[in-house]
């Protein structure tokens, strides 16, 4: 069984990471009734005997003593990480896995990437090596960060190059939160474009997620619940949208529900690699089957269901509804329109009591409304995991490599160009002491790259 | 003189159908999940020793070798009801535990890395048998481990044990134009096909598409589980070995089964058909089961477990294994009827007729049907299956799509980083040659061309 290490960078990354560890613990608690440290848990947690002084002797089998997350937490300001360490999850993290600074990156990619990158390079490398040593067989790094800020985008992408050099065999899955149109950070287009260049070159697979889509999903659910339309069939406090039953105190932070969705995405992505099922899918199979050419590695994700139904005995029609939902725009985590673009490949990862024939029937049903590239008409990858997520009887995660990411990136490019043409806001940007114009030149180079990138998609496959 | 057979199961699919196969065999021979005979009233009318060997403490242990590159499937076997049945030394799980990731190259090279260990395991089992006849491998050809490591195993077996028969039960992927289970299945399939063509003596083709169709149409079950599908596959697998385990007057060993079916060593891909198909309590609407009915039903397109157009093309050879209460005169009458009605389209260059073997039913299995039958046939339209594989392969390969991960493996890597795909092209060549071979087998003047 393989292990994965989660690297959470920046405020956004750490908040999502915190939700992720909370949900992961709850999921394993629900599945693992006997409290034995098995291989499923070992993919994300270490079993440590805290009585042993020093590194904490790792125990590989037997009862669970104390679980430590395989995570590295990085942030250039202390607020978020300190809050985690004072919260209920403090025992899950090893204090030796944290890297913090005081001042923060000031929403500046260059500060995150260049200044803090060079300052903390050795420390970060050491922590990563330590985490890798604790694993028998490290397969994947999950990096969680946002694109619009300073630390997440700058330092997060600096990490990628380092990981590629140091651990070339290990996959790098990046969950990137893209800024929405009404983002309050002025420099977010610059930060995003500069980070995109790094993602293009050094990541194996990127799951772009959009704040706006997450917000839309949450508001839709609130509407459903509050309007009382669905009445008793909807359990409003499902694990997907809230942390009810979690260890956190109940005062809800605004981004809580949104972070929960992203955390669920990561759990479902790895479920088939951790748990058993009739058609298993490991993490290396994701990039094998969904990435036809190395640069085209952006996967649009959509997740269903988003709220629980009290009806346990779901008749097939409801099951089919789950598949239809996965291909509707409401359940996507990125604002894009896949139905009017070309699919390069699509993966359906199902959890729970669903049979292969259900999957195939639904693929046949939905196929006519989806357009695949001519050379990969039957580009589907399916997987079945028998363990359902907590609180649901089954769930579906759809990952699509679709050319609909092109308009999203074009929009980002537009925002970048609008600012750049007016040379805004140089005043903010020249505060640091590195030649910023050089980096922005690189950004323009990336703009050329995106043009080439989108040309690549359109020219090659239409 | 018992001719033992060793089974190897490779990858998730191979292990899952292998497990069902052994369950079926245990039921037929009245062995409980611990490996002990339930009651010893029945004398040794059956030849358990072909598939099982007896340990010192009365346990019957299957001659089975389980291989996988990630631990989950074998672990679930080790925690299931049948955990004490298998010999734990015969289970091989790769230390790295990462699986092959649907990458044929990765499966193959990981197999190569642990060559010594695998040879040890196989040798030990071979030494355990007095007069080994051959090997049976169960695997799928679309994934990573079953196809990649399976290919490596086939090459290993044919190099080291060239005198032994090698048969495989190969699960072919969904080959419709609508969907697939694995995106890179064309690459994995073509690479494995080369080994199936060159390194095996016979291949029983099992096809996911047709199994699904049989469930929906015959059993009226709209969502069969993998458990149920594997159950049917295990029925077929055990039926193919019935005459070996319950010896009658003919076809008592593998070589006689194969020699009656395979005329040209290249054309060794067999389709199967089984009737009546029952799954637990679901019984398909079969009322009358005389020998003639069973034989006619076996020829129906809908019962054949490979989705090829049997109406076009010709049968090269057919073998029917009939189990149950039958009368040899009935068989004769049935064959006569089939010949009169011209229900079967045979090739013209060989005197061909349906061969029928009557086999004894296991006394331990209560069957609701008087007669059941299995047909194993060599039919030329199986080339359409390979044609579909080649078409899908061409489409992807022309664009050089999804090849990045293959380049990382030693077989496909090159110094300039562009990748060396001669192996893929060679495999495709060989498959195309086979398709042409089957096509020319439909012609009357087949023997006038030089073959082999």
Contact A280 B70 (CB under 8 A): yes
Cα(A278)–Cα(A350) distance, rounded to whole angstroms?
11
Global ipTM: 0.84
Q: Which residues of B touch A39 (CB under 8 A)?
A: 71-72, 75
Laid out side by side, the sheet with A45-49 consists of A57-58, A45-49, A67-69
B299 CA to centre of own chain: 19
Contact B12 A280 (CB under 8 A): yes
The phi and psi torsions of A454 (rounded to 5 degrees) equal -70, -30
Contact A316 B222 (CB under 8 A): yes
The mean per-residue pLDDT over the stretch B330-359 comes to 83
Cα(B50)–Cα(A305) distance, rounded to whole angstroms?
51
pLDDT score recorded for residue A234 = 44
Question: pLDDT per position in chain A (462 positions), as tens?
Answer: 788 999 999 988 999 999 899 989 888 888 888 878 888 888 888 887 766 655 555 666 677 778 888 999 998 888 888 888 888 888 888 888 888 888 888 888 888 888 888 888 899 999 999 888 888 889 899 999 999 888 889 888 899 999 999 998 899 999 999 988 777 778 888 888 888 888 988 999 999 998 888 888 888 877 776 765 544 344 444 555 544 444 443 334 567 888 888 998 999 999 988 888 888 888 889 989 999 988 889 999 998 877 544 444 445 557 888 888 888 888 888 888 888 888 999 999 999 988 888 888 888 889 888 988 888 888 899 999 998 888 788 889 999 998 888 888 888 888 888 888 876 655 544 444 333 444 445 544 544 444 444 444 444 433
Dihedral over Cα of B414, B419, B424, B425: its sign: negative
pLDDT score recorded for residue B7 = 94
Q: Which residues of B touch A366 (CB under 8 A)?
A: none
pLDDT interval class at B3 (50, 70, 90): confident
pLDDT higher at A239 or B18: B18
What tokens appear for A85 in the block?
């360490």
Of all residues in chain B, the percent with pLDDT exceeding 90 is 37
* Most confident stretch, A30-34, B209-213, B397-401: B397-401
Closest in A288, A357, A384 to B223, CB measured? A357
Contact A364 B178 (CB under 8 A): yes
pLDDT score recorded for residue A44 = 87
Can you give the pTM of this predicted structure?
0.88
Strands A371-372 and A205-210: unpaired
The distance of B355 to chain A (nearest Cα, Å) reads: 36
Contact A294 B404 (CB under 8 A): yes
Q: Which residues of A touch B224 (CB under 8 A)?
A: 355-357
Q: Which of A378, A398, A456 to mutate to test the interface with B (most CBs of B within 10 A)?
A: A378
Closest in B76, B96, B98 to A276, CB measured? B76
Q: Which residues of A touch B396 (CB under 8 A)?
A: 375-376
The distance of B266 to chain A (nearest Cα, Å) reads: 30
Q: Does B224 contact chain A (CB < 8 Å)?
A: yes
Residue A112 DSSP one-character state: I
pLDDT score recorded for residue B151 = 95
pLDDT score recorded for residue B92 = 93
Reply yes or no on whether the pLDDT at B275 is more than 90: no
Cα(A273)–Cα(A387) distance, rounded to whole angstroms?
11
Closest in A279, A284, A378 to B179, CB measured? A378
The mean per-residue pLDDT over the stretch B161-175 comes to 90
Closest in B98, B184, B223 to A137, CB measured? B98
pLDDT score recorded for residue A331 = 85
Cβ distance B203 to B170 under 8 Å? yes
pLDDT interval class at B197 (50, 70, 90): very high
Contact A378 B71 (CB under 8 A): no
pLDDT tens sequence across A148-205: 888 889 888 899 999 999 998 899 999 999 988 777 778 888 888 888 888 988 999 9
Q: Which residues of A touch B223 (CB under 8 A)?
A: 316, 355, 357-358, 361
Nearest CA in chain B to A282: B101
What tokens appear for B285 in the block?
């609407």
Q: Does B40 contact chain A (CB < 8 Å)?
A: no
Q: Does B392 contact chain A (CB < 8 Å)?
A: yes
The phi and psi torsions of A381 (rounded to 5 degrees) equal -130, 130
The distance of A351 to chain B (nearest Cα, Å) reads: 14
Cβ distance A268 to A301 under 8 Å? no
Reply yes or no on whether the pLDDT at B153 is more than 70: yes
Contact B404 A376 (CB under 8 A): no
pLDDT score recorded for residue A459 = 40
pLDDT score recorded for residue B425 = 92
Reply yes or no on whether the pLDDT at B399 is more than 50: yes
Closest in B97, B212, B395 to A375, CB measured? B395
pLDDT score recorded for residue A54 = 53
The DSSP-derived string for B407-430 is HTSTTT--TTSS---HHHHHHHHH
Q: Which residues of A touch B395 (CB under 8 A)?
A: 374-377
The DSSP-derived string for A114-131 is IIIHHHHHHHHHHHHHHH
Q: Which residues of A touch B70 (CB under 8 A)?
A: 1-2, 280, 282
pLDDT tens sequence across B127-141: 988 889 999 999 999
pLDDT score recorded for residue A457 = 42
Q: Count of A–B CB contacts within 8 Å?
A: 130
The distance of B33 to chain A (nearest Cα, Å) reads: 22
What tokens appear for A4 in the block?
């994965």
What tokens appear for A210 in the block?
């959009």
Closest in A137, A289, A363 to B178, CB measured? A363
Residue A155 DSSP one-character state: I
Tell me the pLDDT of chain A averaged across its residues.
79
The DSSP-derived string for B22-38 is HHHHHHHTTB-TTS-BS
pLDDT score recorded for residue A58 = 61
pLDDT higher at A320 or B432: B432
Question: Using N-to-C axis directions, what is the helix angle for B150-160 and B104-113, rounded to 10°?
Answer: 50
Cis-peptide, bond into residue B288, ω within 30° of zero: no
Residues from A contacting B (CB-CB < 8 Å) are: 1-2, 39, 136-137, 139, 276, 278-280, 282, 284-285, 287-294, 316, 345, 355-358, 360-361, 363-364, 367, 374-382, 384, 460
The distance of B309 to chain A (nearest Cα, Å) reads: 21
The phi and psi torsions of B270 (rounded to 5 degrees) equal -110, 145
What tokens appear for A112 in the block?
């995150």
Strand, coil or helix: what is A444? helix
Cα(A234)–Cα(A236) distance, rounded to whole angstroms?
6
Q: Which residues of A touch B183 (CB under 8 A)?
A: 288-290, 345, 376, 379-381
pLDDT score recorded for residue A247 = 41
Contact B73 A364 (CB under 8 A): no
Contact B176 A378 (CB under 8 A): yes
The distance of B259 to chain A (nearest Cα, Å) reads: 36
pLDDT score recorded for residue A52 = 61
What tokens appear for B190 in the block?
């073509």
Reply yes or no on whether the pLDDT at B116 is more than 80: yes
Contact B181 A381 (CB under 8 A): yes
- Helix and strand tally (H, E) in chain A? 15, 16
Closest in A374, A378, A460 to B178, CB measured? A378
Of all residues in chain B, the percent with pLDDT exceeding 70 is 94
The mean per-residue pLDDT over the stretch B22-26 comes to 91
pLDDT score recorded for residue B104 = 93
Contact B70 A1 (CB under 8 A): yes
């Amino acid at each position: 069984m393989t292990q994965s290490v989660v690297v959470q960078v920046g405020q956004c990354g750490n908040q999502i990471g915190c939700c992720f560890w909370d949900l992961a613990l709850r999921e394993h608690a629900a599945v693992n009734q006997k409290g034995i440290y098995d291989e499923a848990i070992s993919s994300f947690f270490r079993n440590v005997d805290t009585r042993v002084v020093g590194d904490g002797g790792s125990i590989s089998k037997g009862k669970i003593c104390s679980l430590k997350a395989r995570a590295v937490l990085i942030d250039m300001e202390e607020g978020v990480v300190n809050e985690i360490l004072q919260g209920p999850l403090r025992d899950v993290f090893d204090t030796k896995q944290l890297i913090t600074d005081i001042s923060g990156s000031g929403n500046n990619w260059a500060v995150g990437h260049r200044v803090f990158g060079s300052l903390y390079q050795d420390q970060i490398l050491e922590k990563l090596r330590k985490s890798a040593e604790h694993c028998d067989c490290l397969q994947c790094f999950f990096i969680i960060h946002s694109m619009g800020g300073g630390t997440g985008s700058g330092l997060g992408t600096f990490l990628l190059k380092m990981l590629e050099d140091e651990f070339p065999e290990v996959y790098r899955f990046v969950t990137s939160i893209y800024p929405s149109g009404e983002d309050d950070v002025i420099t977010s287009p610059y930060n995003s474009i500069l980070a995109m260049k790094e993602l293009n070159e050094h990541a194996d697979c990127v799951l772009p997620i959009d704040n706006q889509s997450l917000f839309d999903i949450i508001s839709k659910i609130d509407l459903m619940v509050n309007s009382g339309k669905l009445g008793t069939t909807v359990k409003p406090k499902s694990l997907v949208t809230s942390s009810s039953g979690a260890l956190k105190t109940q005062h809800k932070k605004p981004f809580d529900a949104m972070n929960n969705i992203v955390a669920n995405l990561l759990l479902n992505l790895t479920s088939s690699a951790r748990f058993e099922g009739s058609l298993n899918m490991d993490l290396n199979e994701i990039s094998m089957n969904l990435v036809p050419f190395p640069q085209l590695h952006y996967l649009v994700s959509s997740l269903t269901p988003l709220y629980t139904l009290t009806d346990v005995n779901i008749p097939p029609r409801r099951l089919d509804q789950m598949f239809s939902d996965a291909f509707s725009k409401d359940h996507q985590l990125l604002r894009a329109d896949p139905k009017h673009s070309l699919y390069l490949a699509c993966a359906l990862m199902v959890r729970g009591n669903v049979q292969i024939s259900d999957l195939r029937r639904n693929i046949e049903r939905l196929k006519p409304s989806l357009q695949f590239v001519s050379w990969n008409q039957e580009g589907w990858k399916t997987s079945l995991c028998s363990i359902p997520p907590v609180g649901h009887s089954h769930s579906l995660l759809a990952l699509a490599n679709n050319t609909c990411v092109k308009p999203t990136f074009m929009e980002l490019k537009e925002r970048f160009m609008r600012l750049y043409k007016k040379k805004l806001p140089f005043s903010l940007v020249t505060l640091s002491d590195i030649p910023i114009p050089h980096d922005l030149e690189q950004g323009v180079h990336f703009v050329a790259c995106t043009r080439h990138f989108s040309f690549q998609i359109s020219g090659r496959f239409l | 003189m018992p001719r033992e057979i060793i089974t190897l199961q490779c990858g998730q699919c191979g292990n899952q159908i292998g497990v069902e196969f052994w369950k079926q065999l245990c039921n037929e021979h009245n062995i409980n999940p611990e490996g002990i005979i339930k009651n010893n009233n029945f004398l040794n009318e059956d030849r358990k020793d072909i598939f099982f060997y007896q340990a010192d403490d009365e346990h019957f242990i299957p001659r089975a070798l389980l291989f996988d590159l990630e631990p989950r499937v074998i672990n679930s076997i080790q925690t299931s009801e049948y955990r004490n049945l298998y010999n734990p030394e015969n289970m091989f799980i790769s230390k790295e535990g990462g699986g092959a990731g649907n990458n044929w190259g990765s499966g193959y090279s990981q197999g190569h890395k642990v060559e010594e260990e695998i040879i040890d395991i196989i040798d030990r089992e071979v030494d355990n048998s007095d007069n080994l006849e051959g090997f049976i491998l169960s695997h799928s050809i679309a994934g990573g481990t079953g196809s990649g490591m399976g290919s490596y195993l086939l090459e290993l077996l044919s190099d080291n044990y060239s005198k032994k028969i090698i048969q495989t039960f190969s699960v072919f992927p969904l080959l419709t134009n609508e969907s697939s289970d694995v995106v890179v299945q064309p690459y994995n399939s073509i690479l494995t096909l080369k080994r199936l063509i060159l390194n095996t003596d016979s291949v029983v083709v099992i096809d996911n598409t047709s199994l699904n169709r049989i469930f929906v149409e015959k059993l009226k079950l709209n969502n069969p589980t993998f458990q149920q599908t594997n159950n049917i596959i295990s029925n077929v697998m055990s039926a193919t070995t019935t005459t070996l385990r319950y010896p009658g007057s003919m076809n008592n060993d593998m070589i006689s089964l194969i020699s009656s079916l395979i005329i040209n060593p290249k054309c060794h891909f067999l389709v199967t058909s089984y009737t009546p198909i029952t799954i637990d309590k679901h019984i398909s609407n079969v009322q009358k089961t005389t020998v003639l009915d069973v034989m006619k039903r076996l020829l129906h397109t809908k019962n054949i477990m490979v989705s090829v157009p049997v109406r076009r093309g010709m049968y090269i050879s057919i073998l029917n294994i009939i189990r149950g209460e039958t009368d040899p005169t009935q068989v004769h009458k049935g064959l006569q009827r089939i010949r009169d009605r011209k229900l079967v389209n045979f090739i013209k260059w060989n005197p061909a007729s349906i061969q029928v073997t009557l086999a004894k039913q296991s006394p331990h299995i209560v069957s609701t049907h008087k007669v059941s039958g299995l047909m194993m046939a060599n039919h030329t339209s199986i080339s359409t299956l390979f044609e579909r594989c080649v078409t899908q392969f061409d489409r992807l390969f022309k664009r050089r799509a999804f090849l990045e991960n293959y380049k990382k493996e030693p077989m496909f890597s090159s110094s300039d980083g562009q990748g060396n795909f001669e192996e893929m092209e060679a495999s495709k060549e060989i498959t195309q040659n086979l398709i042409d071979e089957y096509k020319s087998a439909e012609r009357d003047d087949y023997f006038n061309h030089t073959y082999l």
